[in-house]
Amino acid sequence: MKQEINNLLKQMFEDTMNEEVRSIVSLPPSGSYREYFRISGKNKTALGVYNQDLKENKAFISFSESFKNQGLNVPSVYAKNDKSCVYLIEDLGDITLFAYIQGIRKENEFPDELLTFYKKVIDQLIQFQLKGSNCINYNDCYPRQSFDKQSMLWDLHYFKYYFLKLAKIPFDEQLLEDDFNHFCDFLLEAENHFFLYRDFQSRNIMIMNDTPWFIDYQGGRKGALQYDIASLLYDAKANLTNNIRNELLNYYISQLKNYHSFIENDFRKHYWAFVLIRLMQALGAYGFRGFYEKKEHFLQSIPLALVNLENVLNTIKLPVKIPILLQTLKAITQSDELKNIVSNNNTLTVSITSFSYKKGIPIDISGNGGGFVFDCRSIHNPGKYEQYQTKTGKDIEIIDFFKNEPEMQTFLNNVFAIVDQSVEKYIKRQFNHLMINFGCTGGQHRSVYSAERLAKHLKSKYKINIQIKHVEQDIKPVMNKTF
């Protein structure tokens, strides 16, 4: 099946871009079941997308074309094949707002340039919300045309079954359902005829030429303004401070007034309720992906989400009676079970990968960005000798070969010193993930040996989680041919 998809995307690229495909590289999975591939020719690149959900594909393509016509920063759709569930879109690169935040922030400071960029994002959000409400075909929305009571209850049940129950939080089901209904009725009092982006957060905002670009809006529908600004400001991984959140919320409100008349007190009254439902939706997603699907990356977001939740609960007073819901949310922040999960995921994970430069540098699947890429091609290559060509850097013959190569030890000593410095700082700052890549020509000898040696070094020195992956040995290449 994978090869069939590759062949379809290859043909689509060559027909559309008028260039021969040189490589097709599978990108790391995200929070969805869509599969992405970076397709490269001599001068052009594009992203190929495979998604079996035809209705979701239709929503994304339809919205993209409508937004593009309005001058909004979304990827162009180059080609599509509805029957084969694939389409080809503009490649916006790899830099997300989340990666930018990780690279520019130190401790709890929030640099002026980052604040300025967030304001650019907010300016664009308002355009999506207002222009989108008039330009998209709501018949293409999936799974519903509006963020109505049914949609809200889906989110709340998602939270109940995939977070509350899996996190072992006790609650009275009927009383909680009663509060869910009262809570939804209050949310529906807000103006709700705008385009609701649905997942407006830092991983869905790309940065290209110092400008924000936007992806993953296929879940959009008609709804209230407050939801998307709440999603942006209470994005768990972005970890904004309350002062920055307040400043950006005030900026959003001041800019919105230039385009739309509304009563600010009413807007703020409903805003906090939308913060709560967004936090619950996010916790449901973390529970499903983390507790149920056992994906650690999503569990790592829970501590930050709980801090946000506790902050909100200690701050707000909603003009709606939902005592059981608030009691249950409070119990989440006090759960010993969740505290154990949180502590288990505070340990730094170092991902060490060997790869071939012919296939491209691996992407950081944690989304943190940064880390290191070490080029091993300056070291004497055992692959030049026939007796070593079928061996890898884990075989005793290659290990013995490098024991007699002083330049390898010099190289590794330098690597150890640089990596140790980062590991110690990451542990001190309670970071969760560091990625280190070793590349050589074929990803077989020098890079594999270096990755194994670094793993052994770190394991002996630090109490951390170590994940090691040898791309050329662990997975089959997705290339159609070798160049």
Q: What is the pLDDT of residues 188-226, one digit of tens each?
A: 999 999 999 999 999 999 999 999 999 999 999 999 999
Whether the per-residue pLDDT at 362 is higher than 90: the answer is no
| Claim to verify: residue 443 and residue 458 sit in the same structural domain | yes
Return the number of other C-beta atoms located less than 10 Å from residue 30's C-beta: 16
CA pseudo-torsion sign 475, 479, 480, 483:
negative
Average pLDDT over residues 240-268: 97
| Claim to verify: residue 238 and residue 298 sit in the same structural domain | yes
| Claim to verify: residue 359 and residue 334 sit in the same structural domain | no
| Claim to verify: residue 84 and residue 126 sit in the same structural domain | no
68 occurs within a structural domain: no
Structural tokens at position 127: 């355009």
For residue 346, the model assigns a pLDDT of 64
| Claim to verify: residue 359 and residue 243 sit in the same structural domain | no
For residue 77, the model assigns a pLDDT of 98
Average pLDDT over residues 33-49: 94
Predicted confidence band of residue 247 (pLDDT cuts 50, 70, 90): very high
Structural tokens at position 363: 């992407």
| Claim to verify: residue 250 and residue 225 sit in the same structural domain | yes
Q: Which of 319, 344, 369 is the last residue of a domain?
A: 344
For residue 103, the model assigns a pLDDT of 83
The answer to whether 214 and 205 have CB atoms below 8 angstroms apart is: yes
| Claim to verify: residue 331 and residue 435 sit in the same structural domain | no
Establish how many alpha carbons lie within 13 A of residue 122's alpha carbon, considering only the half-sphere containing its beta carbon: 22
460 occurs within a structural domain: yes
Q: What is the Cα–Cα distance from 336 to 326, expressed in whole angstroms?
A: 18
Angle, in degrees to the nearest 10, between helices 173-187 and 323-333: 110
Q: What's the pLDDT tens digit per position in 443-464? A: 999 999 999 999 999 998 888 9
Domain that holds residue 398: 349-474
370: left (phi over 0), alpha (psi -120 to 50) or beta: left
CA pseudo-torsion sign 296, 297, 302, 303:
positive
Tally the domains of the chain: 3
| Claim to verify: residue 193 and residue 288 sit in the same structural domain | yes
| Claim to verify: residue 328 and residue 405 sit in the same structural domain | no
Q: What's the pLDDT tens digit per position in 395-419? A: 999 999 999 899 999 999 999 999 9
213: left (phi over 0), alpha (psi -120 to 50) or beta: beta
Predicted confidence band of residue 476 (pLDDT cuts 50, 70, 90): very low
